[in-house]
Structure 1
Amino acid sequence: MSDNIHDFFDENTHWVEQGTGVLGGGEPPQPPKSRREMRKRRKQRKQKRYGVLIAVVVVIALIACGGYFGVRKLHEIRDSQSQSNAIVEDYPGPGYGEVSFTVEDGQGAVEIAKNLLKADVIKSTDAFTSIVGANDAKLYPGTFTLKKHMAASDVLTILTDSSKAAGFLEVRPGERVSAVITDAVALSGISEDEFNAVINNKGDGILPAEANGSFEGWLEPGTYNVKGMSSASDIFKDMVDKRIAKLDELGVPSGSDRERVMIIASIAEAEVNKADYYGKVTRVIENRLAQGMSLGMDSTVAYGNNVQPADVTTAMLQDESNPYNTYKITGLPPTPISNPGDDAIQAAMNPESGDWLYFCTVNLDTGETKFATTAEEHDKNVAELRQWQAENQ
């Protein structure tokens, strides 16, 4: 009972200053009517205290969390700034000494940067990869002569210049096998006789059956590390295997149909120098074949005489003994006449729609080519070419 009495007085005592009435000017509180009401008031007071305590704890927790995440964010900003500073860690150049550095075919900027760092050519990988990305640069495979402690920008200038690469052979769309062999001999150190021996053996064990023993058209354009290969057979096999893989990827039909596509594509590659015209040229070829007309292509005559189309003579055009003389012999030539690229191959599979039977390049500088459906219209285009030649040659 004594506890209840103390609670009663604690809850209902109000201090007043001397000379004043009850603080607040209100009526004095009413005493509780029962013990139940006293317990109720005591419970409410405790709940109020707990509520205040919980609120204080929550506030403290929020302050602690805010401090934690704030510090974490500051660390992130600091790390980001550190990374930014790493990008500019670069040698001023020009460097010293000499470093023989090889970029393998298929290597990316990150892998190349790591190798440059190991060779002590650049100061940081970020210095190189950032400038490669900023310039959307193409890095060529090959062996390059660099220096130690070079500026990343100077390294990029060299690695994006294919003329400074040694040991790697570049096979270009439209090149003939003879040109590829000449370059391969110079770069690999393998004798020309060894390459010719593989050619004379009809590519046994290397070429597919539909190639009919001819490498022409079956060397995939691209870059090859011929200096790292031990034989002419290895070089040829690498090129042919990649060509077959590419033809499969492009969906070129197999067997004799594949060889037909390659022949038509090689003519289109040799006749025009703009990809926009491939589809029209292959349509001209198909239209002429359908009508039993001779193809009449200077490029095939030139191939049969091992000269360039510009060097074809009247005597060559009249020579019926040349199996590639499509002026005198109807149908397709016996083999492709070059190594066509992807665009020409796709055009051979999907020629543009049209009834053209003729085409003529009227400007040898720009490659502008005009197509015609009649001989009269074609003669006008040929006259335009002759006029251009008279004014520019």
Structure 2
Amino acid sequence: MLKKLLFTLAGLIIAGVLAVVVLWKALDWYGNQPLVAPNVEDSLEFTVSSGDSMTRVANSLGELGWLQYPEVFVVLARIEKAAGGIHAGDYLIPAGITHRELLDIFTSGQVRYYDVTLVEGHTLKEVVAALNQHEKLSSPLDEEALQSLYQSLDIEGNPEGRFYPDTYFFQADASVESILRRSYKRMDSVLKEEWENRAEGLPYKNPYEALIMASLVEKETGVTYERGEIAGVFVRRLEKGMRLQTDPTVIYGLGDRYQGNISRRMLREPTPYNTYVIRGLPPTPIAMAGREAIHAALHPEDGKSLYFVAKGDGTHYFSKTLAEHNRAVRKYQIEQRRQDYRSTVQ
């Protein structure tokens, strides 16, 4: 009787071991099988929300037709101790990957990144509007939230120009504030680096004044190779006590009142930013300046030109004397003004 019982027990153990081996082999086989996508050339944009379980993710993929036997996928995840290690975020799942590769994508956090570009020469108002409208960024900022952010960054007064124009990458649902904080930190770093390597004898009291100048250079530049020359004109005018007389400052000072044309009355209107009226630099930057404009402001080209006028193709004509400048204005702004006239290159 005992002998028979032992044989039965041994048989059950062997059967159990064989079942485990078969299950293990089956799971291993399943893990190496490709997903059966609705279209083999497709890829799937799939979002794992914060708090989603592996079971919920598997069932969602099954409903979309991308995962056969979702319950087996969950078992595979548990066997490989990955069921609790899924990362939230957006994923781009390519057709043809195996179940094990899909599991690795989820557990290694290969989430999809998006990007947003803050453009040189844009104002902070334009930048915030673009960020608030980005479909993959969360928590748009109203005026109250913006003021709170500026205070937390120790920005006093007008925050214009304090953020760096660049392309920023982020995961879905990153906040608008997080992009602005990165941009502010980046500007602080770039400005410090450029200031430390500045040319000698510049008419700036501090890096902030250099940033103001860089914003003027940014707004006036149509082609990159003119940045240094334009900076040189502005620096020489400062040194000689001449007014800068640059239209972008007038436009900035007008705010929403500017509708595309500058009148003689506007050029005479006293605002803190009207460099036809005030002497020296305006009180703040007037736009976002990139590294190249900052570098130009801190390394202006030598020369004798004190004036420049847009030629209508994005470039400028530079003059040493007012008489030469007036002739250039007459030539390019009146006699030969192009129908497709523009002050910057497009």
TM-score by length of 2: 0.61
Matched, 1:174 2:121: yes
Could you say if the C-alpha distance between residues 285 and 98 of structure 1 is closer, same or farther in structure 2, counting changes exceeding 3 Å? same
The structural deviation recorded for 1:334 is 0.3
Pick from 284, 290, 299 the counterpart of residue 248 of structure 2: 299
2:152 aligns to what SS in structure 1?
coil
Task: Name the structure with the higher helix share.
Answer: 1
- Who is 1:184 aligned against? 131
> How many pairs does the alignment contain?
240
Could you say if the C-alpha distance between residues 145 and 202 of structure 1 is closer, same or farther in structure 2, counting changes exceeding 3 Å? closer
Pick from 333, 337, 344 the counterpart of residue 389 of structure 1: 337
Pick from 41, 44, 59 the counterpart of residue 98 of structure 1: 44
Pick from 358, 361, 380 the counterpart of residue 310 of structure 2: 361
1:323 aligns to what SS in structure 2?
coil
Which has the larger Rg? 1
1:359 aligns to what SS in structure 2?
strand
2:131 aligns to what SS in structure 1?
helix
> What is the rounded CA distance, in whole Å, between the counterparts of 1:392 and 1:231 in structure 2?
37
Contact 2:249 2:286 in 1 (8 A): yes
1:306 aligns to what SS in structure 2?
helix
> What is the rounded CA distance, in whole Å, between the counterparts of 1:383 and 1:329 in structure 2?
25
Contact 1:206 1:236 in 2 (8 A): no
Pick from 249, 262, 268 the counterpart of residue 217 of structure 2: 268
1:107-129 deviation per Cα after TM superposition (whole angstroms, max 9, x unaligned): xxxxxxxxxxxxx9xxxxxxxxx
The structural deviation recorded for 1:304 is 1.2
Q: Which amino acid aligns with 1:248?
A: K
Could you say if the C-alpha distance between residues 273 and 391 of structure 1 is closer, same or farther in structure 2, counting changes exceeding 3 Å? closer
> What is the rounded CA distance, in whole Å, between the counterparts of 1:351 and 1:97 in structure 2?
51
- Who is 2:320 aligned against? 373
Pick from 202, 206, 213 the counterpart of residue 157 of structure 2: 213
1:28-65 deviation per Cα after TM superposition (whole angstroms, max 9, x unaligned): xxxxxxxxxxxxxxxxxxxxxxxxxxxxxxxxxxxxxx
Could you say if the C-alpha distance between residues 241 and 382 of structure 1 is closer, same or farther in structure 2, counting changes exceeding 3 Å? same
- Who is 2:180 aligned against? 236
- Within 5 Å, give how 1:68-79 maps onto structure 2: none
> What is the rounded CA distance, in whole Å, between the counterparts of 1:144 and 1:363 in structure 2?
47
Could you say if the C-alpha distance between residues 392 and 215 of structure 1 is closer, same or farther in structure 2, counting changes exceeding 3 Å? same
- Who is 1:312 aligned against? 262
Could you say if the C-alpha distance between residues 316 and 375 of structure 1 is closer, same or farther in structure 2, counting changes exceeding 3 Å? same
> What is the rounded CA distance, in whole Å, between the counterparts of 1:149 and 1:379 in structure 2?
68
Query: Which ranges in structure 1 are unaligned for 5 or more consecutive residues?
Result: 1-92, 102-119, 121-142, 151-164
Could you say if the C-alpha distance between residues 337 and 94 of structure 1 is closer, same or farther in structure 2, counting changes exceeding 3 Å? farther
- Who is 1:335 aligned against? 284
The structural deviation recorded for 1:317 is 1.2
1:305 aligns to what SS in structure 2?
helix
Contact 2:210 2:298 in 1 (8 A): yes
The structural deviation recorded for 1:250 is 2.7
Query: Which ranges in structure 2 are unaligned for 5 or more consecutive residues?
Result: 1-38, 48-65, 67-89, 98-111, 199-203, 342-346
1:147-201 deviation per Cα after TM superposition (whole angstroms, max 9, x unaligned): 6369xxxxxxxxxxxxxx99532111111101110111011243341xx225445
Contact 1:199 1:215 in 2 (8 A): no
Q: Which amino acid aligns with 2:44?
A: E
Higher relative contact order (CA 8 A, sep 6+): 2
> What is the rounded CA distance, in whole Å, between the counterparts of 2:305 and 2:93 in structure 1?
53
Of 344-353 and 182-191, deviating more is: 182-191
1:243-302 deviation per Cα after TM superposition (whole angstroms, max 9, x unaligned): 112223334489951011101110010011211111111111111112211111101011
- Who is 2:144 aligned against? 197
> What is the rounded CA distance, in whole Å, between the counterparts of 1:314 and 1:100 in structure 2?
57
Cα RMSD of the aligned pairs, angstroms, is: 3.4
2:337 aligns to what SS in structure 1?
helix
> What is the rounded CA distance, in whole Å, between the counterparts of 1:237 and 1:256 in structure 2?
26
